[in-house]
Structure 1
Amino acid sequence: MSTPPSKQGASGPAPDSAPFDPRSGSFLERLLFNHRLVVVLLCALVTCLLGYQASKLRLNASFEKAIPTGHPYIANYLKYQKELSGLGNAVRIAVENPAGSIYDPRYLATLAKINDEVFLLPGVDRPFMKSLWTPNTRWVGVTEDGLEGGPVIPDGYDGSPDSLGKLATNVARSGEIGQTVARDARSSVIYVPLLSVDAQGRPLDYEALSAALEKIRADYEPQGVRLHITGFAKIVGDLIDGLQQVLLFFAAAIAIAAAMVFWYTRCVRSTMLVVLSSLVAVVWQLGLLPTLGFALDPYSLLVPFLIFAIGMSHGAQKMNGIMQDIGRGAHKLVAARCTFRRLFLAGLTALLADAVGFAVLLMIDIQAIKELAIAASIGVAALIFTNLILLPILLSYTGVSAKAAARSLRTEDATSADGCKEGLWRFLDLFTRKPWAGAAVACACLLAAGGMAIGHHLKIGDLDPGAPELRPDSRYNRDVAFISQHYGASSDVFAVMVKTPDNGGCSNYEVLKRVDALDWQLRQLDGVESVNTLALLNRRMLSGLNEANPKWYELVKNQDMLNSVTAGAPRGLYNESCGLLTMYVYLQDHRADTLNRVVATVDAFAAANDTADIQFLQAAGSAGIEAATNIVVKRAWYEMLFLVYGAVTLLCFITFRSWRAVVVAVLPLMLTSILAEALMVGLGIGVKVATLPVIALGVGIGVDYALYILSVVQGRMKEGASLSEAYYRALLFTGKVVMLTGVTLAVGVATWVFSPIKFQADMGILLAFMFLLNMIGALVLLPALGHFLLRPAVPAAPAALRGGSHQPSASLAPVGDDGLKG
């Protein structure tokens, strides 16, 4: 039976122009489509079970998961963590008296209440908490009777003018001005080190801790004080608080994607099924995470949307193929099976490339990124079932509307009628010809050269003070600015550990002489505000014991004197066995350049001064831990790119079995990566834990476009079509959907620019840029490179291709067909 002319496209007759054999196709196709109802019911059951599991998903974070525990610096920190006075995860609460100074009875009474409430919060490392009201904040002075000292809050304090005078004197003698007490004496800090687990062994709940701190702020600010809170826990808490708005932006992106797909198809049922299948994959992913013992943290919040985005891309391709076959007169079941045959291999390869892009992140020694990679890989695995299998089966039941099917072939029918190509497709087809192809490749080379020149300035780590994950005018960053402005010692502390023999080794003159030398070198660095060491205390004490004569501001070679000073020194400067000294380096900020200078100086000093008994070890403190993280991220950045491109190249070669096709597919992705790095420089975004995965994810997602177009192009060229004819057929079949999904996803993520969370806004810009550029690369650069690299297998036969008797299901099969054709 012949197909009516109205149902014939330029690809040939409809797939059901001959009786369809349900026993045809691969074993996998027969297994799935001959048992469609079983597949649908199983997927529905799994969705219900995992949907219930998803309700148990927790949103939390962990300080330890955000640091590279295998790095030597972090290993040093973890080894001596219990002896470092809370120099890891900590919160600083600056309590300000806007109406006067801290020497105010009402202020001090309020400070005492806040101190007591904070002390009782779950997760606080109470022995190392420090404020004016804790006994470990002490003063030391020289009197006519010798050395004296005691708590800063005087014994018998009663708020009287006499007690306040003694307090002011004690503060002046304590050395806490600029650290615990502001330089203008209008605020003081409560330093709150945190434990990784609470007393019951449960991980610290950052959301609950942040909420408790905000409650304290709300309760006490009406009493005449202002609270300024900083620290990792508060950053995470603010990010979690912004989750509701993040979800609104995700919902907007989903709505935009659905609206764009409907605009393209004009078919409600197929649009809803594409969105549904993608959301089912997200449900499976979110349900599997708690089942496998994982939680979702603020840095992996983007992963569910990325899974949805990938699902929309693949789902739209399946929907488009089925719609076109139904438009040519195929039965909906036949159309679904033919589309499954044509696109399953390309889709599977693309999803494997996505999975590899995510799996490469497992190589990075940061647990938060590893868990992001696991979450994303779970989502991709779910997409193989929901979008490559479930969606075609569902569409085999519902089909598409007749108007939508006819509309999908409008461009193809117009071409068949007059032999002319439509406007946009005609323009894109120009890039298969020498002048336009050469211009496109030359332009790409210029862009790559410019991008590499700019990307060379890409920095590792934070580029701004405060928390770059949040807006500069956020409450948190305003609090950071307040503390930096009013305190000589910022919250960015870099701690150097000096290991010496136990039982008195830390007070040895040779040890203190080296510590004193490093102290002097660090003070000369740009970005270092102050340094606090046991050697500095010895200098001050010797001068104090000699009527503050500056001539005695020296480190004397008198071991008895050094031992005497050490005995009365704060325990934070050395441990109980006197086998470990701690040098506190207070920085202006934690920018990458500042940290690099400190790390390089300590490394060079250690190389020149370490002995068998004295080792200078890095690093503790918030800045020291971030410095180690930056080192790991820098190494992982290049390793990650090498591995992800190596894996994508291998998968493309397995799929196409041609090095030429691999080059055509991969080079546009590389251009996008180069330009994305240049964009990060332009936007002032550094490479850190939060941003590291984005480029890898962009490569994995971007290769989808190339695979769908190139599989059709090479399949056509294998049959003898010219590059122009093959590329034009690819545009009509998969290229339209590549353009649709690229624009749709870019518009969806571009809405994130309005998010109050700067991290999400930056990622929205980067992802929108990569979605669009990968799409343009697949539509413009891919055919241009193909002109120079791809060749038909046999001389072209255009007449046969325009009116031949072969079926679209065969002509559109990807190269390397392995039995998927019927």
Structure 2
Amino acid sequence: MSEQKHHFSTEPEHHILSTETEPMLERVLFGNRLVVLILMVLLTMLFGYGVTKIKLDSSIEKYIPLNHEYIRNFLVHKDDMKSGVANVKIAVEATDGDIFSKDYMETLSKINDDVFFVKGVDRSGMQSLWTPNTRWTEVTEEGFQGGPVIPSTYDGSEESLDKVRQNVLKSGQVGRLVSNDFRSSIIDVPLVEKDPETGEKLSYQQFSRDLEEKIRAKYGSDQYRIYITGTPKKLGDLMDGAAKIALFFLAAMIATAILLFLYSRCPKGTVVPILASLIAVVWQLGALALMGYTLDLYSVLVPFLVFAIGISHAVQIINGIAIEAGKGANHLLAARRAFRGLYVPGMLALLSDGMGFLTLLFIDIGVIQELAIAASVGVAMIIISNLVLLPIIMSFIGISQSGVRHAQKVEASEPKLWKTLSFFANKKVAPFPIVIAIVMAIFGYQMSQGLKIGDLDKGAPELRADSRYNLDNDFMVSNYSTSSDVLVVMVETAKEQCNSFKVMDAVDRFMWYMENVPGVQSTNSLVTVSKLVTKAMNEGNLNWSALSRNQTILNTSIQRAPSALLNPDCSMAPVIVYLNDHKAETLETAVAAVEAFKSDYDDSIDEKYFGYTIPEIEQAIENGEIDSVPVRFQLASGNAGIEAATNQVIADAQDTMLIFVYVVVFVLCFLTFRSFTAVACILIPLALTSILSQALMTYLGIGVKVATLPVIALGVGIGVDYGIYIYSRLEVMLIAGKTMQEAFLETLKSTGKAVSFTGVTLALGVATWILSPIKFQADMGILLTFMFLWNMLGALILLPALAHYLLRPERIIARHKKRHGEVPPAG
């Protein structure tokens, strides 16, 4: 053993190499420092220009799985759907009295007119008490009578107001456009996808601000209160909240600077790492803009992570340079040695980060895929800015004397904390963390079985419960009969056949079936209209509230049906299913019920028959090709349908993504360390954190959804950095001939200190998110803080305990000799 100690230096393995055997990358970079710096400046100028082109995008299409079957079905009939995802509802409440007053009606009329001219409104589809498409109908002795709810003769008099009251009651809009207590009414506002003037996508953020400025701020008062809901408004509020995250970024940067100075005691060692990490952020944003990408609600958080990851790796570089400078090396030599000892584990860690992010591409949702690309680009920039630019800058300016003295003091001291932690590599203590980890893994696994897919809260779970949007949504739910959570099933048939008895009968059976499904409030379709009209035509006799087999009667009964209940060529009739909420269980139950009904009632015939006209259908029946008019039920539209599709995509991708990220990290670690036991030491603490994080999600009531699924990949990809740095240094110490506990103590005194600082810094950087008004950002902050801290503790406590049992120092030494052309002696 003494010979081994004499032969192997305690410095990192590359340090013992001669100048002639220095890595070629090191020779190229440090041999051309000025050229490299000039290239970096040019890159910064290029990407800095790109930053000026970056834009925020709130397009709804990015948040839904466009290739899912449900969404493809919806897109086929998108132009036929009169109301869909891009709708906003504006409720105007009279706080004193009801809506049947002259002042209320005048105010509602003004709001209706102002909304009409807001940029992005589909004016032809607007509906309120003041729009002509809101009508009343009644059956009298003379036949059907009807007209607009607010007639052209309205003059604000008591007589006119009384007439409006009667018309509202006849219109069937109580609970829909008019609240159940008659204290408020709704303006239903469909939106266009693109600006008709510019052709660009409608900015929901700007639309939301227009509603706030031109409607709520202008008309909201103690007398009248304004409530606004709908997916576009929700996205607009989220974008406004996301714009405030710059404050969190600033807070994290200040806190990081303070901690970094306390860690290094060197002004240059504080400023340069922060500068290098900020440069990586600038490069990332500029590159994305030049590649044609935009920022959205999720990718706007990535610069936080890029900065935090950059700092974590910069700390390792600064720590290595300070240690070498404390040994007497000059600026250039200290930087070269630090680079030589850290570029392999640093590159491995960053590649693991990048590959972990890329696994998110498995999830077929635009915002998650763009987050994966944004994060991967950011990691690529960190490789250049922190592993190349940082050491080259430090090779010119070096660590200050105060930083060198602090490094020498730390190197010479043996803090009680590190001595205590080193006992986890001792055979008497090592079993305890392993047993505790096993118990925690079993407990965490059992608890994680309750983890749900999708939203678990009412309203908009992306926003806090006390947010203005969710308070507005609570008002709508409490005062109107129709739920804001709508599942739309599209019933397809041949052209001009949506009113045939077979189709209408199938829809009738479907509606009855769905209304008996738990979580379903009510349904509405062409059948609803047909039954009401048929009953009305027969003196209101309830016995006539049924479908007639006489086609002429059916045709008559739907003559005045709203255009939203059938498409122009009558080949599709939507069935609107109102749900209690959009919780995961509710959506799963409703979708499963629709699928079960489909399997019994759908016609399994050639697609072409669904596009046939009446003569073609009659000819096909006569020829024996088909038995009757084709009919099938297609999922899905409505906000609940979109969310159901999203939940299915996430459920399918969750396990695949997690398996792939672990496989990638496994392969990268194995290729670097060439040892299964080494990989086990690194990955087992990581797996424990993944299990515990899922248990934490279950405990906190956080479902797996678009916002939280990326956290799983991020936590694994970034968390593996700790284990890689710890194991890399531990292996060097073992090669130097030290015992396991001695080797781990030396590791803690250098790399361990940097790792603990990194864990705290990363956790602090994302912990600020917990204060965000955007709940999904707060949830991500909680989960990432937990994962960063637990991964750090796993690398400092569980890894050495596993290493004691799994690693064999003699095998590591033999493998090192073999890789460097030396053959270990026999025996």
Instruction: In structure 2, give the amino acid aligned to 1:736.
Output: K
Q: In the alignment, what sits opposite 2:627?
A: none
Name the residue aligned to 2:178. Answer: 181
Match of 2:759 in 1: 742
> Is residue 125 of structure 1 aligned with residue 115 of structure 2?
no
**Cα deviation 1:749-783 (Å, max 9, x = unaligned):** 22332222222222221111111001001111111
1:207 aligns with 2:205: yes
- How much has 1:572 moved relative to structure 2? 0.9
Bigger mean CA deviation after superposition, 96-105 or 473-482: 96-105
Q: Does residue 1:469 correspond to 2:462, yes or no?
A: yes
Kept in 2, the 8 Å contact 1:89–1:193? The answer is: yes
Q: Report the counterpart of residue 641 of structure 1 in structure 2.
A: 658
Q: 2:702 aligns with which of 672, 682, 685?
A: 685
Aligned-residue identity in percent: 49
SS of aligned partner of 1:648: helix
Provide Cα deviations, 1:273-298, integer angstroms capped at 9, x if missing partner. Answer: 11111111001111112211111112
Cα deviation for residue 413 of structure 1 reads 2.0
In the alignment, is residue 673 of structure 1 matched against residue 690 of structure 2? yes
Partner deviation per Cα, 1:689-735 (whole Å, 9 max, x = no partner): 12221111111000111111111222333454432233222222211
Q: What TM-score does the superposition give when structure 1 sets the normalisation length?
A: 0.92
- 1:69 aligns to 2:62 (yes or no): no
Deviation at 1:57, TM superposition (A): 1.6
Would the aligned equivalents of 1:656 and 1:816 in 2 still touch at CA under 8 Å?
no
Alignment of 1:713-752 (within 5 A): 713-752=730-769
- Report the Cα distance in structure 2 between the residues aligned to 1:17 and 1:534, rounded to whole angstroms: 80
* Alignment CA distance shift 1:246-1:584 (3 Å): same
Report deviation, 1:361: 1.0
2:667 aligned with 1:650:
yes
Contact 2:95 2:222 in 1 (8 A): no
Deviation, structure 1 residue 737: 0.4
Paired with 1:15 and 1:268, the residues of 2 have a C-alpha distance of: 30
Counterpart of 1:657, as a letter, is R
Pair 1:450 & 2:448 matched: no
Counterpart residue number, 1:606: 598
SS of 2:810 mapped into structure 1: coil
Shift of 1:270: 0.8
Tell me, yes or no, if the aligned pair for 2:126 and 2:187 is still in contact at 8 Å.
Answer: yes
Q: Tell me what 2:624 maps to.
A: none
**Match of 1:58, SS?**
coil
Partner AA of 2:371 in structure 1:
L
1:223 is displaced (CA, Å) by: 8.6
Q: Secondary structure of 2:312's partner? A: helix
- How far apart, in 1, do the equivalents of 2:53 and 2:793 lie? 41
Indicate the SS of the match to 2:569: coil
Q: Deviation at 1:663?
A: 1.3
Counterpart check, 1:437 vs 2:430: yes
Instruction: Give, in whole Å, the separation in 2 of the partners of 1:15 and 1:563.
Output: 87
Distance 2:578 2:564 in 1: 15
- The aligned counterpart of 2:514 is 522
Shift, 1:358, TM fit: 1.0
Q: Supply the distance in 2 between the matched residues of 1:87 and 1:17 (Cα, whole angstroms).
A: 65
CA distance in 2, matches of 1:16, 1:72: 55
Equivalent residue number for residue 55 of structure 1 = 52
Contact conserved, 1:657 with 1:816, CA < 8 A, in 2? no
Q: Which amino acid aligns with 1:641?
A: L
Matched, 1:773 2:790: yes
Cα pair 1:429 1:724 within 8 Å, conserved = yes
1:719–1:793 contact (8 Å) kept in structure 2: no
- Give the partner amino acid of 1:760: Q
The equivalent of 2:32 in structure 1 is 35
Change (3 A) 1:796 1:604: closer
Given residue 785 of structure 2, which amino acid in structure 1 is its aligned partner? Answer: A
Q: Residues of 2 paired with 1:620 and 1:795: CA distance? A: 60
Relative distance call for 1:36 and 1:214 in structure 2 (3 A) is same
CA RMSD of aligned residues (A): 2.4
Tell me which of 551, 561, 564 is aligned to 2:556.
564
TM-score under structure 2 length normalisation: 0.92
- Name the structure 1 match of 2:420: 427
**Correspondent of 1:115 among 102, 112, 116:** 112
2:392 counterpart residue number: 393
Partner of 2:608: none
Q: What is the Cα deviation at residue 45 of structure 1? A: 2.4
**Is the 8 Å Cα contact of residues 433 and 784 (structure 1) preserved in structure 2?**
yes
Cα distance between partner residues in 2 of 1:156 and 1:497: 39
Q: 1:293 to 1:18 in 2, by over 3 A?
A: closer
Greater mean deviation of Cα atoms: 59-68 or 233-242: 233-242
Q: Distance in 2 between matches of 1:541 and 1:818?
A: 92
- 1:359 deviates by 0.8
Q: How does 1:336-485 map to 2 (within 5 A)?
A: 336-414=335-413, 422-485=415-478
Deviation at 1:818, TM superposition (A): 12
Is 1:162 the counterpart of 2:159? The answer is: yes
Unaligned stretches of 5+ in structure 1?
Answer: 1-9, 415-420, 798-810
Offset, 1:75: 0.3
* Residue aligning to 1:801: none
User: Aligned equivalents of 1:424 and 1:434: distance in 2?
Assistant: 19
| 2:101 aligned residue | 104
Distance (whole Å) between structure 2 residues aligned to residue 11 and residue 740 of structure 1: 27
Residue 579 of structure 1 corresponds to 571
Q: 1:698 aligns with which of 715, 723, 732?
A: 715
Does the aligned pair in 2 maintain the 1:499–1:580 contact within 8 Å?
A: yes
State yes or no: 1:94 paired with 2:86: no
> 1:252/1:344 Cα in 2 relative to 1: closer, same or farther (>3 Å)?
same
Q: Is the 8 A contact 1:345 1:814 kept in 2?
A: no
Report the equivalent of 2:78: 81
Q: Which moved more, 1:152-161 or 1:288-297?
A: 152-161
Secondary structure of 1:510's partner? helix
Amino acid at match of 2:464: R
Give the letter for the 2:233 counterpart: K
Distance in 1 (alpha carbons) for counterparts of 2:342 and 2:12:
17
Give the structure 1 partner of residue 610 of structure 2: none
My pick for the range that moved more, 211-220 or 542-551, is 542-551
Q: For residue 637 of structure 1, report the CA deviation from its aligned partner.
A: 1.4
Q: In the alignment, residue 263 of structure 1 is paired with which amino acid?
A: L
Question: Map of 1:214-293 to 2, 5 A cutoff?
Answer: 214-215=212-213, 216-222=215-221, 224-293=223-292
What code does the residue aligned with 2:652 have?
R
Q: Deviations over 1:384-436 (max 9, x none)?
A: 1000000011111111122322322334324xxxxxx5411122111112342
Q: CA deviation at 1:18?
A: 10
Q: 1:17 and 1:303, CA in 2 relative to 1: closer, same or farther beyond 3 A?
A: closer
**Letter aligned with residue 184 of structure 2:** S
2:621 alignment partner in structure 1: none
Q: After alignment, is 299-308 or 321-330 more displaced?
A: 299-308
Contact 1:183 1:487 (8 Å CA) reproduced? yes
Find the aligned partners of 1:351 and 1:794 in 2 and give their Cα distance: 27
**SS where residue 635 of structure 2 aligns?**
strand
For 1:285-324, what aligned pairs fall within 5 Å after superposition? 285-324=284-323
Question: Does the residue aligned with 2:89 lie in a helix, a strand or coil?
Answer: strand
